[in-house]
Amino acid sequence: MTDIYWDPYDTVIDTDPYPIWKRLREEAPVYRNDKFDFWALSRFDDIEKASKDTATFSSTHGTVLEMMGPGMIGSNQMIFMDPPEHTMYRSLVSRAFTPRRMALLDDYVRDVCAELLDGLADRDEFDYVQDFAAQVPSMVISRLVGVPEKEREEQRVNIDTMFHIDPEQGMVNDIAFMARIRVHEYLMDLVQRHKNNPDDFGDDMIKVLINAEITGDDGELRSLDDDELVQFTLLLYVAGTETVMRLLGNAAVVLAANPEQRAELVADPSLIPNAIEELLRFEAPSPVNGRWVLKDVEVQGTKIPAGSKVLLLTGSAGRDNDVFPDADRFDIHRDIKKHVTFGYGIHFCLGASLARTEGRIALEETLKRFPEWSVVPGKTHRQHTSTVRGYSEVGISVR
Protein backbone atom coordinates (compact mmCIF):
# COMPACT_ATOMS: atom_id res chain seq x y z
CA MET A 1 0.00 0.00 0.00
CA THR A 2 1.07 3.55 -0.56
CA ASP A 3 0.62 6.74 1.39
CA ILE A 4 0.30 8.88 -1.73
CA TYR A 5 -2.94 10.81 -1.90
CA TRP A 6 -4.54 12.42 -4.96
CA ASP A 7 -8.04 13.46 -5.88
CA PRO A 8 -9.22 15.98 -8.49
CA TYR A 9 -11.14 18.11 -5.95
CA ASP A 10 -8.28 19.02 -3.64
CA THR A 11 -7.60 22.66 -4.45
CA VAL A 12 -4.16 22.66 -2.83
CA ILE A 13 -3.04 19.68 -4.89
CA ASP A 14 -4.62 21.20 -8.01
CA THR A 15 -2.40 24.27 -7.69
CA ASP A 16 0.64 22.09 -8.41
CA PRO A 17 -0.30 18.44 -8.99
CA TYR A 18 2.97 17.54 -10.73
CA PRO A 19 5.02 16.26 -7.75
CA ILE A 20 2.15 13.96 -6.76
CA TRP A 21 1.54 12.80 -10.33
CA LYS A 22 5.27 11.99 -10.55
CA ARG A 23 4.97 9.82 -7.45
CA LEU A 24 1.85 8.16 -8.85
CA ARG A 25 3.71 7.30 -12.06
CA GLU A 26 6.66 5.91 -10.11
CA GLU A 27 5.01 4.28 -7.09
CA ALA A 28 1.32 3.75 -7.85
CA PRO A 29 0.70 3.74 -11.62
CA VAL A 30 -2.69 2.14 -10.95
CA TYR A 31 -3.80 4.34 -8.08
CA ARG A 32 -6.88 3.55 -6.01
CA ASN A 33 -8.83 6.27 -4.19
CA ASP A 34 -11.41 4.80 -1.81
CA LYS A 35 -12.76 8.13 -0.62
CA PHE A 36 -14.13 9.08 -4.03
CA ASP A 37 -14.28 5.52 -5.37
CA PHE A 38 -12.07 5.77 -8.47
CA TRP A 39 -8.85 4.46 -9.98
CA ALA A 40 -6.29 6.64 -11.77
CA LEU A 41 -3.77 5.83 -14.50
CA SER A 42 -0.88 8.28 -14.72
CA ARG A 43 1.71 6.80 -17.12
CA PHE A 44 1.70 7.86 -20.78
CA ASP A 45 1.69 4.28 -22.12
CA ASP A 46 -1.13 3.08 -19.87
CA ILE A 47 -3.27 6.08 -20.80
CA GLU A 48 -2.62 5.56 -24.49
CA LYS A 49 -3.56 1.87 -24.25
CA ALA A 50 -6.71 2.52 -22.21
CA SER A 51 -7.82 5.24 -24.63
CA LYS A 52 -7.58 2.78 -27.52
CA ASP A 53 -9.44 0.01 -25.69
CA THR A 54 -12.97 1.40 -25.76
CA ALA A 55 -14.46 -2.08 -25.36
CA THR A 56 -13.06 -2.03 -21.80
CA PHE A 57 -12.75 1.68 -20.99
CA SER A 58 -16.10 3.17 -21.93
CA SER A 59 -17.28 6.78 -22.20
CA THR A 60 -20.97 5.90 -21.94
CA HIS A 61 -21.17 6.47 -18.17
CA GLY A 62 -19.75 9.99 -18.30
CA THR A 63 -16.19 11.32 -18.26
CA VAL A 64 -16.33 13.84 -15.36
CA LEU A 65 -15.92 12.13 -11.99
CA GLU A 66 -18.89 13.64 -10.12
CA MET A 67 -21.19 13.03 -13.08
CA MET A 68 -20.15 9.40 -13.65
CA GLY A 69 -22.35 6.54 -12.59
CA PRO A 70 -24.18 3.41 -13.64
CA GLY A 71 -27.16 5.42 -14.95
CA MET A 72 -25.42 7.82 -17.30
CA ILE A 73 -26.00 5.83 -20.54
CA GLY A 74 -27.98 7.50 -23.32
CA SER A 75 -26.59 11.01 -23.62
CA ASN A 76 -26.93 12.44 -27.07
CA GLN A 77 -23.38 13.80 -27.12
CA MET A 78 -20.76 11.75 -28.92
CA ILE A 79 -18.12 12.37 -26.25
CA PHE A 80 -20.29 10.06 -24.10
CA MET A 81 -20.65 7.33 -26.73
CA ASP A 82 -18.75 4.18 -27.68
CA PRO A 83 -18.63 2.52 -31.09
CA PRO A 84 -20.64 1.84 -33.17
CA GLU A 85 -22.84 4.81 -32.18
CA HIS A 86 -19.83 7.09 -31.75
CA THR A 87 -18.39 6.11 -35.14
CA MET A 88 -21.58 7.10 -36.91
CA TYR A 89 -21.86 10.55 -35.30
CA ARG A 90 -18.16 11.27 -35.52
CA SER A 91 -17.99 10.54 -39.24
CA LEU A 92 -21.02 12.74 -39.78
CA VAL A 93 -19.81 15.77 -37.82
CA SER A 94 -16.27 15.43 -39.16
CA ARG A 95 -17.79 16.63 -42.43
CA ALA A 96 -18.54 19.95 -40.76
CA PHE A 97 -14.96 20.15 -39.47
CA THR A 98 -13.08 20.09 -42.76
CA PRO A 99 -9.69 21.80 -43.03
CA ARG A 100 -11.29 24.17 -45.56
CA ARG A 101 -13.98 25.25 -43.12
CA MET A 102 -11.41 25.67 -40.33
CA ALA A 103 -9.17 27.75 -42.61
CA LEU A 104 -12.10 30.07 -43.25
CA LEU A 105 -12.08 30.89 -39.55
CA ASP A 106 -8.46 32.10 -39.50
CA ASP A 107 -9.32 35.66 -40.46
CA TYR A 108 -12.17 35.80 -38.01
CA VAL A 109 -9.99 34.52 -35.14
CA ARG A 110 -7.43 37.21 -35.99
CA ASP A 111 -10.09 39.94 -36.15
CA VAL A 112 -11.54 38.94 -32.77
CA CYS A 113 -8.06 38.82 -31.17
CA ALA A 114 -6.97 42.11 -32.73
CA GLU A 115 -10.11 43.95 -31.70
CA LEU A 116 -9.94 42.75 -28.11
CA LEU A 117 -6.22 43.44 -27.73
CA ASP A 118 -6.43 46.86 -29.41
CA GLY A 119 -9.09 47.75 -26.87
CA LEU A 120 -6.52 47.06 -24.14
CA ALA A 121 -3.67 49.02 -25.74
CA ASP A 122 -3.95 52.01 -23.36
CA ARG A 123 -3.98 49.92 -20.21
CA ASP A 124 -0.91 49.34 -18.02
CA GLU A 125 -2.51 46.25 -16.53
CA PHE A 126 -5.32 43.96 -17.56
CA ASP A 127 -6.69 40.49 -16.92
CA TYR A 128 -5.42 38.33 -19.79
CA VAL A 129 -8.06 35.67 -19.12
CA GLN A 130 -11.25 37.66 -18.57
CA ASP A 131 -10.42 40.58 -20.86
CA PHE A 132 -9.13 38.40 -23.68
CA ALA A 133 -8.77 34.60 -23.44
CA ALA A 134 -12.31 33.94 -22.21
CA GLN A 135 -13.85 35.85 -25.07
CA VAL A 136 -12.07 34.44 -28.10
CA PRO A 137 -13.24 30.79 -28.19
CA SER A 138 -16.96 31.34 -27.67
CA MET A 139 -17.04 34.07 -30.35
CA VAL A 140 -15.23 31.72 -32.74
CA ILE A 141 -17.50 28.73 -32.07
CA SER A 142 -20.57 30.99 -32.41
CA ARG A 143 -19.37 32.00 -35.83
CA LEU A 144 -18.58 28.39 -36.79
CA VAL A 145 -22.00 27.21 -35.66
CA GLY A 146 -23.90 30.00 -37.40
CA VAL A 147 -24.95 32.36 -34.59
CA PRO A 148 -25.69 35.74 -36.25
CA GLU A 149 -23.16 38.41 -35.35
CA LYS A 150 -25.45 40.62 -33.28
CA GLU A 151 -26.56 37.67 -31.15
CA ARG A 152 -23.03 36.44 -30.33
CA GLU A 153 -22.31 38.64 -27.33
CA GLU A 154 -25.49 37.63 -25.48
CA GLN A 155 -24.72 33.97 -26.10
CA ARG A 156 -21.11 34.46 -25.04
CA VAL A 157 -22.32 35.69 -21.65
CA ASN A 158 -24.73 32.72 -21.35
CA ILE A 159 -21.99 30.28 -22.28
CA ASP A 160 -19.62 31.83 -19.80
CA THR A 161 -22.28 31.42 -17.11
CA MET A 162 -22.67 27.75 -18.07
CA PHE A 163 -19.20 27.26 -16.54
CA HIS A 164 -20.08 28.97 -13.26
CA ILE A 165 -18.52 27.11 -10.33
CA ASP A 166 -20.31 27.23 -6.99
CA PRO A 167 -17.97 27.11 -3.97
CA GLU A 168 -20.20 24.47 -2.35
CA GLN A 169 -21.69 22.57 -5.29
CA GLY A 170 -18.89 22.78 -7.84
CA MET A 171 -19.84 22.43 -11.50
CA VAL A 172 -23.36 21.15 -10.82
CA ASN A 173 -25.24 24.26 -9.67
CA ASP A 174 -28.41 26.22 -10.47
CA ILE A 175 -26.73 29.23 -12.08
CA ALA A 176 -24.81 27.02 -14.54
CA PHE A 177 -27.87 24.85 -15.11
CA MET A 178 -30.16 27.81 -15.94
CA ALA A 179 -27.56 29.23 -18.33
CA ARG A 180 -27.36 25.84 -20.03
CA ILE A 181 -31.14 25.87 -20.47
CA ARG A 182 -30.97 29.37 -21.99
CA VAL A 183 -28.27 28.28 -24.44
CA HIS A 184 -30.25 25.13 -25.23
CA GLU A 185 -33.43 27.13 -25.93
CA TYR A 186 -31.51 29.63 -28.02
CA LEU A 187 -29.93 26.88 -30.13
CA MET A 188 -33.26 25.10 -30.58
CA ASP A 189 -34.66 28.36 -31.93
CA LEU A 190 -31.59 28.90 -34.12
CA VAL A 191 -31.99 25.45 -35.66
CA GLN A 192 -35.64 26.27 -36.46
CA ARG A 193 -34.63 29.58 -38.05
CA HIS A 194 -32.03 27.75 -40.15
CA LYS A 195 -34.69 25.33 -41.31
CA ASN A 196 -37.37 27.95 -42.00
CA ASN A 197 -35.14 30.59 -43.60
CA PRO A 198 -31.96 28.89 -44.87
CA ASP A 199 -31.14 31.86 -47.11
CA ASP A 200 -30.69 34.11 -44.07
CA PHE A 201 -27.61 32.08 -43.08
CA GLY A 202 -24.22 31.40 -44.63
CA ASP A 203 -22.51 28.08 -45.16
CA ASP A 204 -22.28 27.39 -41.43
CA MET A 205 -22.13 24.19 -39.42
CA ILE A 206 -25.80 23.98 -38.50
CA LYS A 207 -26.61 24.19 -42.21
CA VAL A 208 -24.15 21.40 -43.05
CA LEU A 209 -25.52 19.19 -40.28
CA ILE A 210 -29.17 19.84 -41.21
CA ASN A 211 -28.41 18.59 -44.72
CA ALA A 212 -26.39 15.56 -43.59
CA GLU A 213 -27.76 12.03 -43.24
CA ILE A 214 -26.88 9.15 -40.95
CA THR A 215 -27.88 5.50 -40.99
CA GLY A 216 -30.57 5.03 -38.35
CA ASP A 217 -31.14 1.99 -36.11
CA ASP A 218 -33.40 0.49 -38.81
CA GLY A 219 -30.64 0.72 -41.43
CA GLU A 220 -32.43 3.56 -43.25
CA LEU A 221 -30.81 6.92 -43.96
CA ARG A 222 -32.19 9.76 -41.86
CA SER A 223 -31.39 13.36 -40.97
CA LEU A 224 -30.30 14.43 -37.49
CA ASP A 225 -33.27 15.42 -35.36
CA ASP A 226 -33.41 18.82 -33.64
CA ASP A 227 -32.20 17.49 -30.31
CA GLU A 228 -29.18 15.83 -31.92
CA LEU A 229 -28.33 19.08 -33.71
CA VAL A 230 -28.59 21.10 -30.51
CA GLN A 231 -26.67 18.57 -28.41
CA PHE A 232 -23.79 18.50 -30.87
CA THR A 233 -23.61 22.28 -31.01
CA LEU A 234 -23.73 22.46 -27.23
CA LEU A 235 -20.89 19.94 -27.02
CA LEU A 236 -18.72 22.24 -29.14
CA TYR A 237 -19.27 25.11 -26.72
CA VAL A 238 -18.65 22.93 -23.67
CA ALA A 239 -15.56 21.20 -25.09
CA GLY A 240 -14.07 24.16 -26.93
CA THR A 241 -14.61 27.23 -24.77
CA GLU A 242 -13.11 26.65 -21.37
CA THR A 243 -10.21 24.57 -22.68
CA VAL A 244 -8.91 27.22 -25.10
CA MET A 245 -9.34 29.87 -22.42
CA ARG A 246 -7.17 27.78 -20.03
CA LEU A 247 -4.55 27.23 -22.74
CA LEU A 248 -4.18 30.98 -23.21
CA GLY A 249 -4.16 31.70 -19.46
CA ASN A 250 -1.40 29.11 -19.05
CA ALA A 251 0.49 30.73 -21.93
CA ALA A 252 0.42 34.11 -20.17
CA VAL A 253 1.83 32.65 -16.93
CA VAL A 254 4.37 30.22 -18.40
CA LEU A 255 5.79 32.73 -20.91
CA ALA A 256 6.10 35.39 -18.20
CA ALA A 257 8.13 32.85 -16.20
CA ASN A 258 10.33 32.14 -19.25
CA PRO A 259 11.03 35.61 -20.68
CA GLU A 260 14.02 34.51 -22.80
CA GLN A 261 11.84 31.96 -24.63
CA ARG A 262 9.10 34.56 -25.03
CA ALA A 263 11.65 36.91 -26.61
CA GLU A 264 12.50 34.17 -29.11
CA LEU A 265 8.84 33.92 -30.09
CA VAL A 266 8.67 37.69 -30.58
CA ALA A 267 11.78 37.58 -32.78
CA ASP A 268 10.61 34.55 -34.74
CA PRO A 269 6.84 33.93 -34.72
CA SER A 270 7.33 30.76 -36.81
CA LEU A 271 8.30 29.14 -33.47
CA ILE A 272 4.80 29.76 -32.08
CA PRO A 273 3.09 26.53 -33.33
CA ASN A 274 5.67 24.36 -31.54
CA ALA A 275 5.42 26.58 -28.46
CA ILE A 276 1.66 25.87 -28.42
CA GLU A 277 2.33 22.10 -28.49
CA GLU A 278 4.81 22.50 -25.66
CA LEU A 279 2.32 24.56 -23.64
CA LEU A 280 -0.32 21.86 -24.20
CA ARG A 281 2.08 19.18 -23.03
CA PHE A 282 3.46 21.18 -20.11
CA GLU A 283 0.14 22.43 -18.69
CA ALA A 284 -2.75 20.36 -20.03
CA PRO A 285 -6.00 22.37 -19.95
CA SER A 286 -8.07 19.19 -19.64
CA PRO A 287 -5.82 16.86 -17.62
CA VAL A 288 -8.36 14.39 -16.17
CA ASN A 289 -10.61 12.26 -18.40
CA GLY A 290 -12.90 9.62 -16.91
CA ARG A 291 -13.80 6.16 -18.20
CA TRP A 292 -16.10 3.40 -16.94
CA VAL A 293 -14.71 -0.14 -16.89
CA LEU A 294 -17.06 -2.50 -18.71
CA LYS A 295 -15.19 -5.74 -17.96
CA ASP A 296 -12.50 -6.78 -15.47
CA VAL A 297 -9.10 -5.62 -16.66
CA GLU A 298 -5.52 -5.88 -15.44
CA VAL A 299 -3.17 -2.90 -15.72
CA GLN A 300 0.44 -3.14 -14.50
CA GLY A 301 -0.49 -6.30 -12.59
CA THR A 302 -3.41 -4.69 -10.75
CA LYS A 303 -6.94 -5.91 -11.40
CA ILE A 304 -9.56 -3.21 -11.93
CA PRO A 305 -13.05 -4.70 -11.66
CA ALA A 306 -15.93 -4.10 -14.06
CA GLY A 307 -18.10 -1.19 -12.92
CA SER A 308 -15.13 0.92 -11.74
CA LYS A 309 -14.43 4.55 -12.55
CA VAL A 310 -10.96 5.15 -13.99
CA LEU A 311 -9.44 8.59 -14.43
CA LEU A 312 -6.89 8.95 -17.23
CA LEU A 313 -4.45 11.63 -16.06
CA THR A 314 -3.40 13.01 -19.44
CA GLY A 315 -1.84 15.98 -17.63
CA SER A 316 0.50 13.53 -15.89
CA ALA A 317 1.25 11.77 -19.19
CA GLY A 318 2.65 15.07 -20.50
CA ARG A 319 5.24 15.01 -17.71
CA ASP A 320 6.24 11.37 -18.17
CA ASN A 321 10.05 11.32 -18.43
CA ASP A 322 9.93 8.03 -20.34
CA VAL A 323 8.38 9.91 -23.26
CA PHE A 324 9.51 13.50 -22.68
CA PRO A 325 13.08 13.74 -21.38
CA ASP A 326 13.44 16.31 -18.60
CA ALA A 327 9.66 16.65 -18.74
CA ASP A 328 9.36 19.32 -16.03
CA ARG A 329 11.37 21.75 -18.16
CA PHE A 330 9.42 24.06 -20.47
CA ASP A 331 11.15 24.22 -23.85
CA ILE A 332 9.59 25.76 -26.94
CA HIS A 333 12.16 23.90 -29.08
CA ARG A 334 11.26 20.47 -27.72
CA ASP A 335 10.77 17.85 -30.42
CA ILE A 336 7.27 16.65 -29.54
CA LYS A 337 6.36 13.56 -31.53
CA LYS A 338 3.01 13.11 -29.79
CA HIS A 339 1.14 14.08 -26.66
CA VAL A 340 -2.24 13.06 -25.26
CA THR A 341 -3.48 16.48 -24.19
CA PHE A 342 -6.17 16.30 -26.90
CA GLY A 343 -6.99 12.73 -25.86
CA TYR A 344 -6.12 9.71 -27.94
CA GLY A 345 -7.95 7.23 -30.15
CA ILE A 346 -11.54 7.58 -31.27
CA HIS A 347 -12.34 10.55 -29.01
CA PHE A 348 -9.27 12.52 -30.09
CA CYS A 349 -10.36 16.15 -29.83
CA LEU A 350 -12.49 17.07 -32.81
CA GLY A 351 -11.54 20.72 -32.34
CA ALA A 352 -7.77 20.17 -32.05
CA SER A 353 -6.91 21.99 -35.25
CA LEU A 354 -9.22 24.87 -34.35
CA ALA A 355 -7.73 25.04 -30.84
CA ARG A 356 -4.22 25.12 -32.32
CA THR A 357 -5.25 27.90 -34.70
CA GLU A 358 -6.83 29.93 -31.92
CA GLY A 359 -3.76 29.42 -29.72
CA ARG A 360 -1.33 30.36 -32.47
CA ILE A 361 -3.17 33.48 -33.65
CA ALA A 362 -3.92 34.65 -30.10
CA LEU A 363 -0.22 34.44 -29.23
CA GLU A 364 0.89 36.06 -32.49
CA GLU A 365 -1.41 39.02 -31.92
CA THR A 366 -0.50 39.27 -28.22
CA LEU A 367 3.25 39.21 -28.80
CA LYS A 368 2.98 41.76 -31.61
CA ARG A 369 1.42 44.28 -29.25
CA PHE A 370 2.86 43.23 -25.90
CA PRO A 371 6.32 41.68 -26.32
CA GLU A 372 6.87 41.73 -22.56
CA TRP A 373 4.64 41.41 -19.53
CA SER A 374 4.81 40.31 -15.93
CA VAL A 375 2.16 38.59 -13.86
CA VAL A 376 0.88 40.94 -11.15
CA PRO A 377 1.42 39.37 -7.70
CA GLY A 378 -1.88 38.39 -6.10
CA LYS A 379 -3.78 38.83 -9.36
CA THR A 380 -3.96 35.22 -10.46
CA HIS A 381 -6.82 32.95 -9.60
CA ARG A 382 -7.37 29.30 -10.46
CA GLN A 383 -10.75 27.86 -11.35
CA HIS A 384 -10.85 24.47 -9.65
CA THR A 385 -12.82 21.77 -11.42
CA SER A 386 -12.33 18.01 -11.48
CA THR A 387 -11.59 17.97 -15.18
CA VAL A 388 -10.45 21.31 -16.63
CA ARG A 389 -7.45 22.95 -14.96
CA GLY A 390 -6.18 26.49 -15.25
CA TYR A 391 -6.74 30.14 -14.46
CA SER A 392 -9.88 32.22 -14.37
CA GLU A 393 -7.81 35.36 -13.76
CA VAL A 394 -4.27 36.31 -14.80
CA GLY A 395 -3.56 39.95 -14.12
CA ILE A 396 -0.64 41.11 -16.24
CA SER A 397 1.35 44.32 -16.30
CA VAL A 398 2.42 45.26 -19.82
CA ARG A 399 4.50 48.37 -19.08
Question: With respect to ligand HEM, which residue has the nearer C-beta, 364 or 372?
Answer: 364
- Tell me the pairing of strands 213-215 and 221-223: antiparallel
If binding is defined by CB under 6 A, does position 146 make contact with ligand HEM? no
Question: With respect to ligand HEM, which residue has the nearer C-beta, 29 or 249?
Answer: 249
Identified binder of ligand HEM from the candidate list 96, 120, 349, 361, rule CB under 6 A: 349
Size (the chain), residues: 399
From the CB of 180, what's the least distance to ligand HEM, in Å? 16
Measured distance between the N- and C-terminal CA atoms of the chain, rounded to whole angstroms = 52
In angstroms, the CA 285 to CA 247 distance is 6
Choose among 345, 352, 351: nearest CA to 54.
345
Rg (CA), the chain: 21
From the CB of 247, what's the least distance to ligand HEM, in Å? 4
Question: With respect to ligand HEM, which residue has the nearer C-beta, 336 or 398?
Answer: 336
Q: Which residue is nearest to ligand HEM (CB)?
A: 351
Tell me if 152 sits within 8 A of 247, measured CB to CB: no
From the CB of 328, what's the least distance to ligand HEM, in Å? 20
Which residues 48-107 are close enough to bind ligand HEM by CB under 6 A?
59, 63, 78-79, 90
From the CB of 199, what's the least distance to ligand HEM, in Å? 26
Which residues 280-319 are close enough to bind ligand HEM by CB under 6 A?
285-286, 289, 314
The residue count for binding ligand HEM (CB under 6 A) is 26
Name the phi and psi angles at 37, rounded to 5: 55, 60
Which residues 230-259 are close enough to bind ligand HEM by CB under 6 A?
235-236, 239-240, 243-244, 247
What single string gives the DSSP state of each residue in 200-264? Answer: GS-S-HHHHHHT-EEE-TTS-EEEPPHHHHHHHHHHHHHHHHHHHHHHHHHHHHHHHH-HHHHHH
β strands within 262-388, DSSP E: 288-293, 297-299, 302-304, 309-313, 374-384
Residues at the contact surface with ligand HEM, assessed by CB under 6 A: 59, 63, 78-79, 90, 141, 235-236, 239-240, 243-244, 247, 285-286, 289, 314, 341-343, 347, 349-351, 354-355
